[in-house]
């Protein structure tokens, strides 16, 4: 399966490069970066409604591929359950295949990618520009509290919280009526190692983005830092306020009302 992915990736990369070189309207790519439990999933759900850009959740793409019973699939399942990162080679291959699907022609919101410096090659090597890279900032203590109450609906990836975002019936998914579960990688000991992993392996992606945003032709146009302690509505509002005029349009932000002339 993985050999197939690598061949497919090579074939699929050509249209991306040609599109970048031919001067067609570039797709809008938005990247959400933040520690586990910082609200990337919840923010992407709202942002997709506002912007009409589809979301690519890396862990959901991985899960679809893992329905096969190969040794590699079993290994990836175990790594995901233990909160370990999957190899860059595998992730790059599946993401290139995913992004080449027609539903992402106008762009996409990436939830959970890139997560390592090596994964930023996806943008640099394919000459794809990230319009906005959003960083969700939150303390480790707040994350640990959030993860304890997090429940998910496995098949869809819908996320709930027992206190802050409860389902209509405790333990049951609102849409399908199926049971919710606590992810094995949301257990406190696993969360702590995922936080260390975020600091050591994923934070360099933010430095990369800041450097790119300072360059005239960098692969990232704008980096926006958000306080992830806010509600999702407040985060969306802060995002729109901080966006450049062009990005604000692409993110589907409400147009700023023209200032009314003060009464004399």
Q: Does 144 bind ligand AMP (CB under 6 A)?
A: no
235 binds ligand AMP (CB under 6 A): no
* H or E element in which residue 14 lies: helix 2-22
Give Rg (Cα) of the chain.
19
Are the beta carbons of 175 and 72 closer than 8 angstroms?
no
Residues 6+ apart with CB under 8 A from 153: 160, 173, 175, 176, 178, 180, 181
Q: What binding mask, one character per residue, do residues 5-34 give for ligand AMP by CB under 6 A, x or -?
A: ------------------------------
Least distance (Å) between residue 135 CB and ligand AMP: 15
Q: Answer yes or no whether residue 115 interacts with ligand AMP by CB under 6 A.
A: yes
- Beta carbon of residue 104, minimum distance to ligand AMP (angstroms, whole number): 16
**Which residues, including other chains, have CB under 8 Å from residue 96's CB and lie 6 or more apart?**
9, 12, 13, 16, 122, 126
Please report how many Cα atoms fall inside a 13 Å half-sphere around the Cα of residue 119, on the Cβ side. 26
From 80, 134, 191, 251, residue interacting with ligand AMP (rule: CB under 6 A): 80
Q: Kindly state whether residue 185 participates in binding ligand AMP, applying the rule CB under 6 A.
A: yes
Shortest distance, position 63 Cβ to ligand AMP, whole Å:
8
CA neighbours within 13 Å on the CB side: how many for 248? 13
Strand-pair category, 158-161 with 150-153: antiparallel
Nearer to ligand AMP by Cβ, of 104 and 237: the residue is 104
Binding status of residue 62 toward ligand AMP by CB under 6 A: yes
36 touching ligand AMP, by CB under 6 A: yes
58 binds ligand AMP (CB under 6 A): yes
Interface positions with ligand AMP (CB under 6 A)? 36, 58-59, 62, 79-80, 83-86, 91, 112-113, 115, 119, 185
């Amino acid at each position: 399966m993985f050999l197939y992915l690598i061949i497919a990736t090579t074939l699929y990369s050509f249209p991306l490069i040609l599109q970048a070189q031919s001067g067609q309207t570039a797709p809008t790519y938005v990247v959400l970066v933040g520690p586990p439990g910082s609200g990337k999933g919840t923010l992407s759900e709202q942002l997709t409604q506002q912007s009409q850009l589809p979301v690519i959740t890396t862990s959901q793409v991985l899960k679809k591929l893992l329905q096969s019973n190969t040794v590699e699939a079993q290994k990836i399942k175990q790594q995901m359950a233990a909160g370990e990162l999957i190899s860059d080679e595998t992730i790059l291959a599946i993401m290139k295949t995913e992004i080449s699907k027609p539903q992402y022609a106008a762009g996409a919101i990436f939830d959970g990618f890139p997560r390592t410096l090596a994964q930023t090659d996806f943008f640099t090597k394919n000459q794809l520009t990230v319009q906005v890279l959003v960083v969700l900032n939150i303390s480790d203590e707040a994350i640990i509290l959030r993860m304890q109450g997090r429940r998910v609906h496995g098949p869809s990836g819908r996320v709930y919280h027992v206190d802050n975002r409860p389902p209509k019936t405790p333990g049951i998914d609102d849409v399908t009526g199926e049971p919710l579960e606590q992810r094995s990688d949301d257990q406190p000991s696993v969360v702590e190692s995922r936080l260390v992993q975020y600091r050591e392996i994923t934070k360099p992606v933010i430095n990369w983005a800041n450097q790119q945003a300072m360059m005239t032709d960098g692969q990232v146009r704008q980096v926006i830092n958000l306080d992830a302690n806010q509600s999702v509505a407040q985060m969306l509002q802060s995002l729109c306020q901080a966006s450049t005029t062009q990005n604000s349009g692409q993110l589907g932000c409400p147009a700023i009302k023209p200032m009314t002339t003060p009464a004399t």
